[in-house]
Amino acid sequence: MRFFIILIFILLASCSSNPDGSTPKLRSSKNLTITEIKPNKWTAITRQNLEHLFQVYDLEPYLFTLDIQIESKAIPTSHPTLKLNTRYAEEPNKLLSLFIHEQFHWWAEKRKSDVNSAIEEIKSLFPRLPLQGMAKEEESSYLHLLICFLEYDAIIKLMGKKEANKLLKDLIYKDKVYPWIYKQVYFKFENLKVIVEKYNLSPRSSI
């Protein structure tokens, strides 16, 4: 009987949550703090896959904020706290791409002056933007041309070009996430690369 009481206590302790319904913060081996908001099966799978990605890849160069939240059906955001949803809970490659994307928004904040200069040159490269396949605002669309380039370039370095291209194709045609922007990242890769290198915006060359 005593054994079963201890076992129940351990199980209850492991399932305990904060007063707001979130799980206690978990810290990975890379000092990443992950909090599940309104925890459920999908937030747990997403967290586990994200932590596993840190076992597989060296993501240290792409960490610009260490406080991460995961919430089902939430809109992924970078600020004020980086938040992921569970859309890619069972698609680790896309989860990694989304995570890196939101991290680069923090990188852009840290390098705001250089990013603004780079965006002015990107505007010259794309003087007119279409109405479809963009971010909500024009300035955000230009910023995303830079962010999505950095994301794609990072995935190439981590997974190789073949896997990165497969992922990019899915984002454009299947998931329809910023389709026009990701198309330009693919077709104008070398042009964008010149701008990124000019302002030393590749994190691997700056850390």
- Over residues 30-61, the pLDDT tens digits come to 588 999 999 999 999 999 999 999 999 999 99
Q: Which residue has the higher pLDDT, 135 or 191?
A: 191
Quote the pLDDT of residue 136: 80
Would you say residue 63 has pLDDT above 50? yes
Mean local confidence (pLDDT), 79-86? 98
pLDDT, tens digit, 9 for 90 and up, residues 84-118: 999 999 999 999 999 999 999 999 999 999 999 99
The rounded percent of the chain whose pLDDT value lies above 70 is 84
- Own/partner contacts of 37-44, CB < 8 Å, gap of 24 or more, are 37/69, 37/70, 37/71, 37/74, 37/83, 38/71, 38/72, 40/72, 42/72, 42/86, 42/89, 43/70, 43/71, 43/72, 43/86
Average pLDDT across the chain, whole number: 87
Would you say residue 191 has pLDDT above 90? yes
Predicted TM-score (pTM) of this structure: 0.84
The rounded percent of the chain whose pLDDT value lies above 90 is 78
